[in-house]
Structures are given as C-alpha cells and as structure tokens.
Structure 1
Amino acid sequence: MDINLNNQNDKDPNDENRFEKKKKSLLSSSFATALFTLIFAVVSVVSYIPIRNAYFGTTESHAYEYLESDRFLYQHLTGLTRKLQQSMNGTNDGYDDSYVNIKSVQYKMSYAGETKDENTVIKTLDQAFRERSRNDFIPYQEVTSYKEEQAIEIGNGELGEEGIGVRDEGVKEEKREESIEAVVNRNKILTNLSDISELKLQKNKENSLLYLKITFDQNGVPSIESGFGKKSKLENFNINRDVFAERLVYSNLEDLKDYQGLEVEYIIPSDFVEYDDIFTYGMKDSYAISNYAMVILIIGAISVLILMITAFAVPYESQNKASIIRLFNKMFLELKFVVWGLLMLLIAGVFEMVSNYRYYGYGSRLAALIYDADGLFYMIGIPLTFLLYFLIYLSTVYLKYIYHKGLKEGLIDNSFFGKICLYCVRKARNILRRMILRTKNMVNTLMAIDLKEDNQRKLIGIGIMNFLVIVILGSGGFFGFVLAAIYSVLVLRYITDLLEKAKELNIASEQVSAGNFNINLNEDMGILTPLAKNLNNINIGFSLAVDKEIKSQRMKAELISNVSHDLKTPLTSIITYVDLLKNEEIDRDTQREYIGILDKKSQRLKILIEDLFEASKATSGNIELHLEKVDVVALFRQTLGELEEKINGSSLQFKISTPDNKVICNLDGRRTYRVFENIMTNILKYAMENSRVYIDITESIHEVSFTFKNISAYEMNFDANEITERFTRGDESRNTEGSGLGLSIAKSFIELQGGTLEIIIDGDLFKLIVVFPKA
C-alpha cells in the first residue's frame, strides 16, 4: 500500500468547495434580505404622495383656504405691512429678515397723493431693510441736487418746525439730516415689482388669485379694497379692517399715526404655491405638521406591521441562512440596544439639522420638506426608512430566535446584564440554600434532643445555668464580681475533669484503631458517657460483623457449589448421550430415545440459564417495570387457569378463598404473573402428595395480601430466610426439577413493586405471605 505521508494533513478540496458554497449562500441570503427591505422601504416612501393627494386634495385648494385664513391676513400680511412702514419712515423695531426676498406676494408701498418724478427713489423692502441695518439707520443720501438743496434750505432755517432755534452748528447739521430723510422718504416707493406702471399692475391683478389696496388716512385709519383675478376661485374671502388695524399695531391704536398717508397694494399671483418664503411656508406648515405628518406615521405603522407579519411568516430555517441575521442574533442584547440607539440618534440628528435650517428667515425646513416631498425628501426618507425597517426585521427575527432557542439561551445568555444577574441569582440561591440547610440542621438538632438521655439533660442544664449566671453577674456590681471569680474556678475545675475523661477516651480509641477490641472503660463520664459506651460495645459489634461476614462467605461458597452442580448435571448428560450417538451401530429407536433425552436436558439447561439471568437482573434492580392499574385477583385466577393442567395432574387439593370485588393495584402485570407462577410451581413441586393447599386473599384499606399454606414433602431443616436465596431448594439432594431461583426471583419482583414476601416455617407447615399496596 502506497501512503503519501506528506499530504495527509492537506485539506480536502471538497471541504473547501462546500465552505465556499456555504459562504456564498450566507452572503446571498443576506443580500436578498437587505434588497427585500430596501424595496419595501422605497414603496413605503413613494406611496406617500399619492395617498396624501387622494385624501387631502391638491396644493391649489390649499392656497385658497390659506388666503382666507387668519394666519395669512392678520399675522403675515400685517407683518409685511409693518416692515414696509418701518422702512418707509426710517424706523425699525429689531432685526428680523422674515420678510426679505418676498416673491409670493407682490407689494408696492408709497405715500398717497405724492407727485413722483424722475427723482423718485424705488427700492425693495430687503434693500431698504438691509441698508438701514448695515448703516445703523443712517438716512439715504441718494437724491438729486435739487432735492438735496431743498433739504439744506429747510435745515438752515432760523427756526425749525416747532420754532426751535437752530443757530448751533451741531443742531443745524442734525436738523439738516432729518430734513433730507423726510424728503427722501416722501419720494420713495418700496416694491418687489420690476415694472410698477399702471398697465402692468392692472395686468397682474387680472391674473392674480387676490389683490388688496390698503390706504391709510391722515389719522392712520386703514381702508381696504379687495378684488380677484379672472381665474381666482376664492369664494369666502373677508378681511376685517378693525382686526387688521389692531394686529398691525399690536392693539395700540395710537401707533396708527405712523401709517398716516401711506398706500400699499398687494397682489397674490396665480402661481402662489410655487414660491418659497414666509407666506407659502405658513401654508405648508398648516398642512404638513397637522395632517401630512400623520399620513407619514400611518403609512409607517402599516408598513411596520406588514414587515413584522412577513418576518413571522417566513420559516426561521430560511431566515437563519442569512449571515447578517446570524450575526444579529448572536450579538449581545446591550449591543442591539446600542444599534437601536445609534439609529434613533441618526434620525433625531437628521430631523434636528433639517429643523434648525432657517427657511427663508422664518421657521424650519421640516414642514416644507414634508409638504413639497421633493428630491431632498426622498434622499433623506429612503435611507432612514430602509435602516429603520431593516433593524425592525432583524429584531423580529430575533424574537423567533428566542422562541426556538429558549429564554435562557436566546435572551439571558445573549446579555452581559443577564449573565451577571443569572450569576448573582445562582450565588444568592446557593447562599440561601446553605442558610436554610444550616437552619434546618440546627432545628433538627434541637428537635432531636431527648431529655430522657442523661448527657443531653446535662447539656441543657449547663446552658441554662450559664445563662442565669451571666444575667446575675452582669447585674450584681461588686458582689457579681466575687461570684464571677468563684464561678470561674468551678468552670475551670469542671473543664479539667472533662479533659481527663476525654484523654481516657482518646487512649481507648487508639487501642481500637490498633486492633485491640478488648477494652473496658468506666462508663460514668458525664456528657461523654455515650462515647464510652460505644467504645465498650465495639467488641460486641465487631463479633457480630465477623459472624455476618462468615455467613456471607459460606452462602457464596454454597451458591457457587449449587450453580456448579445444577449446570454440570444436565451438561454431563448431554455430553454422555452425544458420545453414545456417535456409535453408528445403535439402532434407530435408540437414537430417537437418546435425542429425546438430549432435548429434555438442553431445555432444562436453557431454563436454568434464563432464570439465572432473570434473578441477576431482578436482584440488582436493573429491570424496567411497566406499572399499570391491574386487578390482582383476576390476574391470580388467570395464573391458576394457565396451570390448570398441572394442578389437575397433581394429587393436591386446593382450598382457595378470594374476595368477590376487584382489587386494583399499581403493578407490572407480566412480572406479577411470574411471581404467582413461581409460587404455585414451588407448591406443586414440594408439597406432600394427597395433602391440602390453602390460598387466602384478604383485602384491607391500603393493601391486599396472599397467604399460601401447604405441608412440605421434605424435612425443612433450614432457616426461613435461606429459602429465598438463589439456588436454595427444599430438596437438599437436588434431585427434583428446578433451578432453586423461583422464590428468589419472586421476592425480587415483589419488592421492586413496593410489596413484601414473608416465609414462616412451623414444623412441616410452609407458609408464604405476599402483600401488595393497593392503588
């Protein structure tokens, strides 16, 4: 045989191929799981728009509802008017760029009745607002020389508007700047329109959803005119002039004088919803937060429910093929919480970032993101939804993993905290168990105290006496000190005597350990008296043990002798008749006779060996019982029926007394039948011919007893207990058929089923009593 020793450690290529295939299978299963979750997430996010539009309608209807709302009319429109007025008059109540870059609302503000010529200053609100903020509200100087000269003349007058002298140069300069600003403001128009001609304004109004003209009189009281474009569908529009005025000046109507002479026109274009500023944001915020966000939550909840049902529906064996699922299942529970926490932080961080992004100077971007559902919505929504769904799917499969592996292996063993708790519980349980055991032993010790015993009475007396002495000494003062000294002397003397007696016991125990059992101790040793008595009784106990061992050895020798005789007798016959059959000269009838004898002897040998094995198993308890509820009286009658031929063939007369009712016991029917069969066979073998056999079955509350009585045909010169030993027979000559194992097997079967077997010998009377507990 050619063996290549150099390659015996090489890996099997088939194993490598199987490993690669398994690895690819795990990876493909993981990819399929991730792809399924991704597709599910995409469908969930994409379904948002059609579901939202089907339930809440289009953005055009939203625009009409918003333009009729108080939020538009009395919050945002008054805010824009306020900012325009402040820019026109060169005042400002704080930095706020909310109304910068307004496109969804076209506005034009100027002083009513003023003649605008080529020197008119036209600015947008954001230009005026940002210049005043940058220049710390320095008035505009961008006017023609004519207007500037006019302002200088006003500023150089001897008296101001209130008759105040302005001879001081500093006051003259300040008055001059205020006059310049007044001239500039009177010739300024704030608008976000590139063309403010009447023709263009009229065209814009015709194509608008809504247009308003607000004129403030010399007291600042507004009058409002409204109109609609040709394609407008506004039906319930109504603006309250008084509410508008109150909201404009925060209910302080005295501030309306700042608006005197102003005229403002507002035009809401037909493409209002396409712009992004504070006005359209107000509309989007009204719908996105209260309505659209709820749609997203409902879609998410339904999707999660479907995802979890799918995860539970797919067989666990298929799911467990994915490496990502295996990894997640084996991951510690705390790490799973960390993964969930990181995902929640990621989602919260994204929402925080979007919410904190100032949306055209007002509010956050989140409402607009939900309302518009543009590309950014899908760029954020699909990855976050995929991660959330994927983690939910893994967590659902982990619940199935716990179900398959069990709570301990699937949950507790997969957790740092669980292992620590399990360890602590086990330690606490062991400590508690030891405490309970010690307490139980202490209680048992106290309960076992027998006051009839002299030594135990002395121990109890000593304990009580010590307690009383301690109480007296503790409360006796100087007298107690004297008593304590006396008591210490007495205790020392008592301990000295006790040590002397213990020394004698120690010497006696050394003699016993050396093999000298002939010791004689004084048994009057106080609390050590039981030990002295036990040492004195060792000699008697040793003698009994020696006698028992001698008897055991004798029984073993007899057992070997009996086994040898019972096995040798049929085997010798078989060998003899086999040798006779080898003689070819014997006739056919003789051969048949010899063969019959061989068959009989071999059957006896077979039965002997089977009984030997049965007795061995029964005695060692290595036998399986099939206990069931059995009518033991009916079983005994069945045994008699099976042995009817042998009973009728004998000369014995059987007198049987049985109860009429059923007697139920929890027994193995086959083994109990063997017990009755062995007992009856023993009676048929060893009972005296032409004698009577009495069998009585009596029932009590808890048990049933079978009593068998017969006259022995042989002299019973042996102990009653010996008859149940193996290979012990009533026929000492051992000429009768049988193995001598019948009663031994019966006794073992009875005791294994909780019963008892008792044999009583009175002269030639053989009495056997079997007792079984009732079910």
Structure 2
Amino acid sequence: MATRWKNKCKIKYFLWTLLCIVPAMVILSAYPHIREQSEKESRKYYTTREFAEMLYNGNQVLYEEISGANTRELDPPGNSFREIRPYLQYEVLNKNGKTILKNGESLKQLLAQDHLKKYDWIVQMEYDHLGNAEVTECYGTYAQKMKVRLSEGLYYQYEDQYEDVETAEEMGTPADCTFLYGMTKEQGQAYQSYIGNPFYAVYYRSGMADMIRISIFVLIGAAIFLPFVKKLNTGNERGFQMPVEIIGITVIGLLILWEAVTSLVISTMRGDIQDRLVQLGLSNGDAESMVMAWNLIVWIIYFSLIYWVTGSIRNLISIGWKQAVRERIFLIPFLKKHRAKLEKACSFLKKKWSGLAKRVDIFFRIDLQEQSNKVIFRFVAAQFVIVSLFCMGWFFGIAGVLIYSVVLFRTICKKYYKIKQDYQRMLQATEKIASGNLDMSMEQDFGIFDPVRKQLLQIQSGFKSAVDEEVKSQKMKTELITNVSHDLKTPLTAIITYVNLLKEEGITDEERENYINVLERKSMRLKVLIEDLFEVSKATSKNVKLELAKVDIISLLKQVRLELSERMEKSELDFRWNFQEEKVYLTLDSQKTYRIFENLLINILKYSLEGTRVYIDVSDNEDIVTITMKNISKGELNFNPGDITERFVRGDVSRNTEGSGLGLAIVKSFVELQKGKLTIEVNGDLFVARIEWRRTEMEDIS
C-alpha cells in the first residue's frame, strides 16, 4: 500500500515538474529563431514603404536645391528626408548624365564598374521631361523588394495628387534628371542604431507572446483538471492551502512579472545582459550559458507560480466561501486578537490624516486675494505628480487613475458644495445689509469668500457710522436751530423792548440815555453773534483764505495776554505762563491764530473758578509744537468733551451766561484749517484745551 502511494506521489511530482519545465524549454528553444528574425528585419530596413517615401521626398528636396523651383512641400515631419540624409550617399545627374550634385563618391561610376561590395544597397531613379519616374537600377540583398516598394510609393504618391495635370512644370516635380542613393554597410549600421532594433515587433509578430499565453492556459487547465484524476490524489496538498492574502499578493506579482519577463526576453535576444557579463570578464560562451540558465530558471519559477496560484484558487472554491473566510483569511483572526491595538492605531492615524487633510486644504485653499496663477499652478503641479506616479504602475496605474478620478470627482463635488454654501451665506448677509439690518452678526466663516466678509463688515460698520452720524447731525441741526433762535431772540427782544420804551412819552433824559446805552450793548452783542456765526460757517466750509507767514507763537500769546490784561487782573485768577526763552516759529495765519488764543483765554475768564490757578504751557519738541491751557471750572463739567467744540454748544446748558456758544467751534475750525489738532479733556472740574501743530504736516498748507 505504501509503495503504491509512493508511486502516485512520484507520478504527481513528475507531472508537476514536466508541466513547469517543458514550456520553459520550448520558449528558450524559440530564442534563436526570434534573434534571427529580428536581425533579418533590421537588415531589411530599406524595403519598407516609409523608407521609399523618404527617398521620393529626397528627390523633391534635392531638385529644389539645384533648380530653385517652387516645388510642393513633400518633406513632412516624422517621415522626413532630413532623418536619413546624414546616413546617405546621393548623386543627382542632368539629362545629359552629368553630375550636378553629390555628397561623396560617384554612385554612377560604382554601378558602371560594379564596385559595390561595401554598399548595403544602391538605387537609381530617372525622371523624363514629363516628370514620369522609373526605378532603373537597384542593388542590394533585398533589391527586388526595394524596387517593388519604390514603384508602389511612386504610384500612391502621385496618382491622386496630380491626376489632372499633364506636365512636370504643372506638377512641380523633378524632370529630365536622375537621382542615385546608396548606403555603405557602416552607414546602414549607423542608421539601424538610430531607428532601433525591432525586437519588440518581432517578439509579438513571431508568435512567441502567443506561445507563452498558450503555455499559461495549459498550466491553468492542468491545475484545474488534474485533481479530478483520483489516481493522482492531487489538489489538496498543504501547499495549496495558503491564506487568501498570500494568493492575492502572488496574483498581483504575476501580473507585474509579465512585463518583467517580457523585458528579460527582449534584453536576452538583444544581447544586453550577455554584453554586461562579458564586460565583467566572462567569455562569450560562459556569458551566453549563464544568461540562458537564468532565463530557464525565471520561466520555471514563473510557470510554477501560475500552477500553484491556480491550484490554490481551485482549492478555495472547492471548500466553499464560508469555510474559506473562517480558515483561509489570515487578517480576520489577527484583527480579532489585536482589536484594541488596531483601534488605537486607527485613532492615531485618523488624527494624522485629519492634520494632513488640513495641510492639504491649506495648500489648495483658494484665496481670491492671491494671484490666480499660483492657485492653478499648485493644483496642476499636484495632479502632474500624482498622474506621473500612476503612470509608473503600468496596468495597475490605470486602475489607480480610475480610483483617483472617482476620489477627485467626490472631492471636487464636496468643494463645490462648500463654495455654494459659502456663497449663499454671503448673499444672505448682503441682502440683510441692503435691507437696512446693520446690527446682524457675520461671525461665520465664508470660506473662499472670507475676504468679501471682511469687506462686508467694513461696509456694515461704515453704513452704521454714517447712519449714526446722520442721526447725530439731524439732532445737532435741531439743537442748532433752537440755540440760534434762543441766542438771537434774547438781544432782539431786549432791543424791541427798549425801542418801545423810548417811544413812550414822559421819560426823562437820563432814562433815555440809559435806554440808548442798553440798545447799543444789545445790538453789539447781536452783531458779534452774527459775525461769529458767519466766521465759523466760512471756516467749516473751508471757504477761508489764509494769509500764511512765519509767526512766533510766544510773541503772539504775549500780545493776547497784554490785550486781555485788564480783564485778567479783575478775574481774581492766578495765571501761570510757562514759556521758553527761544522763539517758536510756525507757518500760520497770524490773525486766525490770534483769534484762537483769544477765544480760549476768554473762555477761561468766563468759566474759571475765582481764586484758582490757570496754566498756559508752550512746548517745542522738534517736529511737534504743543500749547496747553488748563483751568478749574466753576460749574460742573457734565458735557461730552467731543461735543463742546460743536456750534452753539455751551458748557452752561441753562445758557444763563453771556456767550454765543461759537468760541470753541471757531477755535477748532481755525486750528484744523492750519493742519493742527485741538483736543479737549475733562477730568472732574479740570478743563484742558490742547493744540498740536506738526511742522511736517504744515508744509502742505495752502
């Protein structure tokens, strides 16, 4: 029984060996045939139709060179006489047989003397006066075939193109001349090197690729059907009971190896591997034997793997998919055993992937403020790199490109949907702003439209400021009318009253004089009020002409102090003047600047608490000149410092004191006209007025 089982095993192993070795030996035996065929093909390069067309194109080119005729363009790229001209010997004869153009020895004399051993081929073509061409001489191993090709080329080239013309002149073709072409053996070898050896074409045309495929199909068939022969007891060996993962990897490897094996065959027939071994010091015979042995081993391994993979797949099918999943998929028990570690690893990879996705998103982020070329270049460069990587995978690269196309489609759709959502958010925000909703929130990210969101926020803020300013302006207009009415009405009422009193009979001269004095005071106050109003209106509208000159600020302040000295002495205020000894020059209008200082000091005299100190400081800090006036108010300072410089606004809200409410408004207007800055500060009862002039800014005053 044991002997019988051993005999079955021997038969089985013998069959396996035979199935793997015999196809390998058959393929190796075909190598010499393919090498011989490729050498023949390479020697017959001049018998192709393309080569014949290039020679006829050469006739046109050479004829144009010698005659200057306006011939038709018959030298197209890719099938050009320019490609073979460096490897050719050529000669052109006129109708009398005299040489008019050549680039080497005379081919006509060689044909006449029969000195042709060093030439691969020579051909002679004659044109009559009508431009009809005929191949009159053809020398070479494949001369007859070359002559047929040249005749066919002549027929196809001119039959349709010139069927309606009668003369060579009309055709634009050579006439009354003869063209001779030839290639020496050295030139022929150089040209063969230039065009390359046709091993691949011979490999597929010779049927060797079909032979390999047939061998593969035979092996697959044997692996499937031999287990049905019960005597062999094969198909269930342990070697066929491999995990699915190993089988899958092997199948992929075999598909990749197909190209590698094909390249090995071509390299062997071309002699590349043998040449390298000879360069390493081996003899030609040893190198050839080693190369053939290596080819035999590779083919045996390749066919063995095909047989083993087919047998393993058949074994999987025979046990059923449920048992195959339970027993033959290695990953399932592995995943169960290491589930916790794998979950941890997946979580880690998810974080890394998220970080990578963010970086990719930043890399491909579309910023409408950037140059569009940069964004497009980044995208195209990335696609170029990815597609280049897929191209390296041959057949699998095509599958990869298909998968990548699906992923790219999904990504673009997702990106498009996100852009659409961002656009809708931006549109809604714009509509709300347009409808007057200036308090809406725009905290959401607008994606690629985020720069627009920032602009919308600025527009929203600008509109809101404009509306607030308009409301404030309307309020100030109302207050202005009220204040102007009040301030104008008070003196006018007094004037009317005293005029009526003067009209009464029985008043004394003393009373009359007293009434006239009151009328004078009230009318003067009304005049000052109107003049101030007119002055501040002109200043606000920039309708004031400045008389600019170099003005010494210190001297001007002293002049104002002198003018108001009497009132200062009566005010019971302690004025502290902090001036520097040197003069401080600025380019200003002296009258307007005098009015600025006068109004500020009058304001101090009116509203300061008696018995307090008043500080007037002047500082010159190279570019900036600052005048600061500080006083303690006798009334509560319960107003907004920014509003006190507006027209008809007074610190005395009840308006019981004299004043137009235009003093600080005039100061502000005149300071700003002269490129200065007026700042009002309030700290409890401390009132501070500060004027700043920058010399660099004052250069632009006109």
TM-score interval, normalised by the smaller of the two chains: 0.3 to 0.5
Highest Rg: 1 or 2?
1
- TM score, norm. by length of structure 1: 0.39
